[in-house]
Amino acid sequence: MRALKILSGFAEKYFAILIIIFSVTAFLQPDWFKPFSPHITLLLGFVMFTMGLTLKASDFKLVFTKPIPVIIGIVSQFSIMPSVAFLISIVFRLPSEIAAGLILLGSVPGGTSSNVMTYLAKGNVPLSITMTSVSTLLAPIVTPLLLLLLAGQWMPVDPITMFKSIIQVILIPIMLGIIVNKLVPAVPEKGASILPFISIVAIIIIVSSIIGANKTNIASAGFTVFIAVFLHNGIGYLLGYFAGKLTKLPEQDCRTNAIEVGIQNSGLGVALAAAHLSPLAALPSAFASAWQVVTGTFLAQFWSTRAPYDEEVASDEKTKKMS
């Protein structure tokens, strides 16, 4: 068990590097990963189940006690990222499948890794967890509607089928995880050291299988997809942060909003694109899986060395009172 705990810690610390290594390997040796393609939905369902195991009723408390930051965050999440994806698709005249895939990436809820990034960035972790949870619960309705509204001109979208798919892949596994956590709390407690590792392995397999199945498409459109994802992710961080500033949120909440907006549930984007759009449409989410972990880690490290302005002010006031 100790070895598993060490391995899990290693995987969490070097997740970005691991996913890049396996992505390159999948591109060079696609046959190694193609057999996993039919199991993407199952793997993502397991990741969502492990997320459910970590959730408690208290994670939703902020919705009722301090709803304004949560509402600002959710509105930012589901307005900034789909709109930015749409504008990038128009300005750069992206191919239809890539445009639809980028808009899908912008329309999925926040990624679970945002909670860790928020912690490292000295942000508001309870707010981050609440925003991720609420946006995930809203995804069955919001994601298909956004995709229909913004991507319908590029590819046919069936919102009803996608709604059912998100319920099966996201909500049911999460609810099962919450139930297990409530009825058998020993399960998440004993699995705390290995569940993150298994989730990371599942995400790496999901991304690698998509890249392996799209080697030809990546060779021809890979640079275009990377530039689109690069801009989408960076603008998301920037606008997410300033959305907090404009609404006069504390600095901690602004950092949280930036990370929650910028980091998407790319695994869900991959699964939905592969199931409802096309393999090529899954590439933006596959690329984002690696890229947003890299940028999120750098952003978190940058902020980790700088105390939030609110803390600096409080510290100064405390010093003045003492003197």
Judged on CB neighbours under 10 Å (0-12, 13-18, 19+), 79 is middle
Does the residue 109 lie in any domain? yes
pLDDT at 89: 92
Amino acid occupying residue 102 = L
Give the relative orientation of helices 283-304 and 266-276 as an angle to the nearest 10 degrees. 170
Is residue 169 within 8 Å of residue 268, measured between CB atoms?
yes
Does the residue 310 lie in any domain? no
User: For residue 118, what is the domain's CATH number?
Assistant: 1.20.1530.20
pLDDT at 317: 44
**pTM of the entire structure?**
0.80
**b/e per residue 192-206 (b: at least 16 CB within 10 A):** ebebbbbbbbbbbbb
Is residue 261 within 8 Å of residue 77, measured between CB atoms?
yes
Does the residue 16 lie in any domain? no
pLDDT at 232: 94
Does the residue 156 lie in any domain? yes
Is residue 155 within 8 Å of residue 277, measured between CB atoms?
yes
Amino acid occupying residue 52 = G
Q: What string of H, E and C letters represents the secondary structure of 24-35? A: HHHHHCHHHCHH
In tens, the pLDDT along 58-114 reads: 667 777 788 888 899 999 999 999 999 999 999 988 888 899 999 999 999 887 777
Residues in Cβ contact with 265 at an 8 Å cutoff, skipping those fewer than 6 apart: 108, 109, 110, 111, 112, 136, 139
Does the residue 146 lie in any domain? yes
Does the residue 239 lie in any domain? yes
Identify which of 295, 243, 222 has the alpha carbon closest to the alpha carbon of residue 264.
295
Across the chain, the runs of DSSP E, i.e. the strands, are none
Is residue 43 within 8 Å of residue 198, measured between CB atoms?
no
pLDDT at 90: 92
DSSP state of 130: H
pLDDT at 319: 43
Domain that holds residue 83: 36-299
Q: What string of H, E and C letters represents the secondary structure of 178-225? A: HHHHHHCCHHHHHCCCCHHHHHHHHHHHHHHHHHHHCHHHHHHHHHHH
Does the residue 155 lie in any domain? yes
In tens, the pLDDT along 245-255 reads: 999 888 888 98
61 or 128, which is more confident? 128
Number of domains, the chain:
1
- Check whether 199 has a pLDDT greater than 80: no
Mean pLDDT of 303-319: 58
Does the residue 198 lie in any domain? yes
